Structure 1
Amino acid sequence: MNDKAARFSKKMCDVLNYGALNLAMGIGYETGIFEIMAHLEGPAGCAEITSGTDLNERYLREWLGIMVCGGIIEVSTNGDGDELFELPEEYIPFLCLSGGSSNLGVYTQEIPLLTDCARQGVLQGMKSGIGIPYSQYPKFYSFMQELADAKHRDILVQTFLPSVMDGEMVRRLEAGISVCDIGCAEGVALEVMARAFPESHFTGFDISEESIINARERIKELGLKNITFLVRDAAGKDFVPQQFDYITAFDSIHDQTRPFEALQNIRKLLKTGGIFSMVDIKAESSISGNMKHPMGSFLYTVSLMHCMPVGLMNEGAGLGMMWGREKAVEICRAAGFSRVEVADIPKDGFNSHYLCFK
């Protein structure tokens, strides 16, 4: 075996091990094992870890075997020869809720969920080229909505909006403007903004009638009067022009079946001098440009399993999550925006901010 073959053999072992490790870590995260172990005072046996929980000791032991071999959990032995297990303190921020934006453990659930939802559809699509409908992804959307909601509550008003035009957007929101969020889901981003800026009015568009119904009910319970929700396809027709001063789209444009038409409508909806904030994945448009991306393989997999196939429905564009900066800027400009600025987002290593001017 030559050196290249030997290196690839090792790589294949790593692939198999890390693929298995991701699956098991997702199970550990969802069942709360990492949180339980983070609160233990020192190394503990299986019985102590499961004490007071609904975890099964035999299943836990097998799971711990994966974690120990994968270098996630450390193992030691007490004087009686019993094995004790410990989650290193340094790892806790990356695996538990307390880590906030450092928490990567939550994403270990993503690929297993997508596999459950879409593996057969992707296998068929590899030959047919046919997309996969949104209806195939209920568990995945629930998971992603929880992630997005937590992110919005954590950084939208505190970090993101103050970074837009060096704080100018916050000043406009405080004075009172009209705002629209495209692909609003159940409206948490709008809720957060509406609470912070009561002088402004907020409108949410989403293609999902169920999401809009849920959003209306929740906002009614909260008593917020400055939010409206509408079931609308961003790429649809008959939009009334020049309605909004500011429009946002958080990771929703690349999933559109007709993204160019959606961007044209967004420009149409903006008043003269209006601003569009498109938050989308931080990547290059060429595959070679993403070779050194720290999570390139992961993001392309999410795109293959979800973003691209839903975008292919009804003979759609199928941009995919990794459409990248060059293509995003090109399409925004072609849609009529006079200027497009691309910037990093504070406390968000996954996305870029495309600030588009009418």
Structure 2
Amino acid sequence: MLLDTPRVEAFGAQMGEVLNHGVLTLLMSIGHQVGLFDTMAELPPVTSHELAGAAGLQERYVREWLGGMTVARMVEYDAERRTYWLPREHAALLTRAAGPDNLAGATQFIALLAGVESRLIECFRHGGGVPYAEYTEFHRLMAEDSGALFDAALLDSILPLVPGLPERLVDGIDVADIGCGSGHAINLIAAAYPRSRCVGYDISTEGIAAGRAEADGLGNAEFVVRDVADLGEYERFDLVTAFDAIHDQAQPAAVLAGIAASLRPGGVFLMVDIQASSNLEDNLDNPFATFLYGVSTMHCMTVSLSAGGTGLGTVWGHQKAHEMLTNAGFASIDIAQVEADAFNAYYLAHKP
């Protein structure tokens, strides 16, 4: 059978873009971490020497980085003056000032995932998984990523998704955050609503330590190291939250059942998780689908499997989520969206 030559050529061009973009993500990650995007956004067109001086960096590295950014059309370049600048439209998606819209920060996950590639290859061949402890920077990156969203939207956009919730928090209710990570969300809630009693649970001692440190002076914020598959609370809470945490669990069904048990009758579970379908064919047009399946393969799914879990995966989707919430005993399950968050769906599940 003859090859379709135009199709071969088109795929070759696509593969060239894959290689270019793969390296570009690493360059973007470096630019984010050393503050080059942030610095450029505040400056007029500058030379590589001027940019390096303003950012406190080595000019030779900055110049080569700028070369990559220029050919990738991330920054603009005046060949006559040898000056570079970051368009405002690009800065809106590349700087820390962009808050949750900053996609440059997300490129840090690529290097993180690449660090476990050899371990993952053995999992493909022999089974098992890569444990959470192998991802040395994951906690920090998740705290940075989620922190920007929480600061921008938690109090003003996310909590008000539950009708009447802000008013109840003012009066004082019992709140828990499951898989709280560094605890920033629970600390924001505790600080904004001093009459409410807030507790964060996570298996990570590092995360819990960070939450306690940030909560210094907050008398209504508590942090507990616990495997949330064995939460062990009964009708203690009026509100339970879980931010992008359920799909990572080794035993997500047990976690959801424990959350349901921990809620008082009429309590609400606010579950934030990836916006996707459980059906592969429905995700073909999702602009972040490749990233999501890749993160699932190289982190979320394999971490669960390493603990003997079900390997639910990042892209478990709203159909599976609805099914599992129903099986856990929740009723009146609604899905909402938050304008500041393109990645996630917001599930509002009520306990009868």
What TM-score results when the alignment is normalised by the length of structure 1?
Answer: 0.93
User: Aligned ranges for residues 147-162 of structure 1 at < 5 Å?
Assistant: 147-162=145-160
**Which position in structure 1 is the counterpart of 2:9?**
6
Alignment partner of 1:208 is 2:201: no
Seen in structure 2, the aligned counterparts of structure 1 residues 214 and 49 have a Cα distance that, compared at 3 Å, is closer
Asked if the contact 2:147–2:184 (Cα under 8 Å) also holds between the matched residues in 1, the reply is yes
Asked if the contact 1:277–1:354 (Cα under 8 Å) also holds between the matched residues in 2, the reply is yes
**Which position in structure 2 is the counterpart of 1:122?**
120
Asked if the contact 2:74–2:86 (Cα under 8 Å) also holds between the matched residues in 1, the reply is yes
Asked if the contact 1:160–1:346 (Cα under 8 Å) also holds between the matched residues in 2, the reply is no
What TM-score results when the alignment is normalised by the length of structure 2?
Answer: 0.95
Deviations, residues 45-64 of structure 1 (Å, cap 9, x unaligned):
21111124432221222211
Asked if the contact 1:130–1:312 (Cα under 8 Å) also holds between the matched residues in 2, the reply is yes
Asked if the contact 2:171–2:196 (Cα under 8 Å) also holds between the matched residues in 1, the reply is yes
**Which position in structure 2 is the counterpart of 1:101?**
100
Asked if the contact 1:285–1:322 (Cα under 8 Å) also holds between the matched residues in 2, the reply is yes
Asked if the contact 1:122–1:305 (Cα under 8 Å) also holds between the matched residues in 2, the reply is yes
Asked if the contact 1:181–1:247 (Cα under 8 Å) also holds between the matched residues in 2, the reply is yes
Shift of 1:190: 0.9
Asked if the contact 1:173–1:200 (Cα under 8 Å) also holds between the matched residues in 2, the reply is yes
Which runs of no fewer than 5 residues in structure 2 stay unpaired? Answer: none
Seen in structure 2, the aligned counterparts of structure 1 residues 192 and 330 have a Cα distance that, compared at 3 Å, is same
Note the aligned Cα RMSD (angstroms): 1.5
**Which position in structure 2 is the counterpart of 1:70?**
72
Describe the SS at the equivalent of 2:234. coil
Asked if the contact 1:114–1:140 (Cα under 8 Å) also holds between the matched residues in 2, the reply is no
**Which position in structure 2 is the counterpart of 1:301?**
294
Worse-matched range after superposition: 312-321 or 145-154: 145-154
Q: Distance in 2 between matches of 1:225 and 1:57?
A: 48
Instruction: Give the total of aligned pairs.
Output: 348
Give % identity: 40
Q: Distance in 2 between matches of 1:266 and 1:37?
A: 46
Worse-matched range after superposition: 118-127 or 244-253: 118-127
Shift of 1:290: 0.7
Alignment partner of 1:35 is 2:63: no
User: Aligned ranges for residues 162-181 of structure 1 at < 5 Å?
Assistant: 162-165=160-163, 168-181=164-177
User: Aligned ranges for residues 127-142 of structure 1 at < 5 Å?
Assistant: 127-142=125-140
Q: Distance in 2 between matches of 1:179 and 1:218?
A: 18
- Alignment partner for residue 317 of structure 1, among 270, 292, 310? 310
User: Aligned ranges for residues 1-358 of structure 1 at < 5 Å?
Assistant: 2-41=5-44, 43-78=45-80, 83-116=82-115, 118-165=116-163, 168-219=164-215, 221=216, 223-236=217-230, 239-358=232-351
Deviations, residues 214-257 of structure 1 (Å, cap 9, x unaligned):
423432x3x111122222211116x1311111100000100000
Describe the SS at the equivalent of 2:273. strand
